[in-house]
Amino acid sequence: MKRGNIVLVQVPFVGTAGAKVRPALVVQCDRLHGMIRETIIAAITSNLSKVHLPHQLLIDLSTADGSLSGLLTDSAVRCERLHTVPQADVQRTIGHLPATLMAQIDECLRSALGIA
């Protein structure tokens, strides 16, 4: 598992018990993967209604970069929706985002976290 991978993982529900297998983007730095048993992910959704906001990034499957994602439909990475999940809950890697999109993810994370 590496930063930039898109994985299928058990994502916990917010405000209620349970979880659902969903795609998510690994945003944690690679050096932590061997040091701890958890990983930090950003949720991915097919709901594009808020993709215009600075804390979400559109993954457009019609682009070369978007086609590498392994996603089935155009989606948004929700950098405002971060989770720490056990690495054992990651079922598999389905794709990845190239450096060009990860640079944009970094900007979205800065916006979501209020980091200048």
Q: Is the sign of the CA dihedral 80, 113, 98, 32 positive or negative?
A: negative
Report the distance separating Cα 86 and Cα 8, nearest Å. 13
Where does 5-113 sit in CATH, by number?
A: 2.30.30.110
Q: Is the sign of the CA dihedral 102, 108, 112, 116 positive or negative?
A: positive
Report the distance separating Cα 51 and Cα 58, nearest Å. 6
Chain centre to alpha carbon of residue 101:
11
**Exposed/middle/buried for 18, CB within 10 Å: 0-12, 13-18, 19+?**
exposed
Give the residue-averaged pLDDT of 94-101: 98
Alpha helices per DSSP H over the chain: 64-67, 99-113
**Which pLDDT tens digit goes with each residue over 20-76?**
899 999 999 999 988 999 999 999 999 999 999 999 999 999 999 999 999 999 999
Binned at pLDDT 50, 70 and 90, residue 19 comes out as confident
Reported as type and span, the H/E element at residue 64 is helix 64-67
pLDDT attached to residue 34: 86
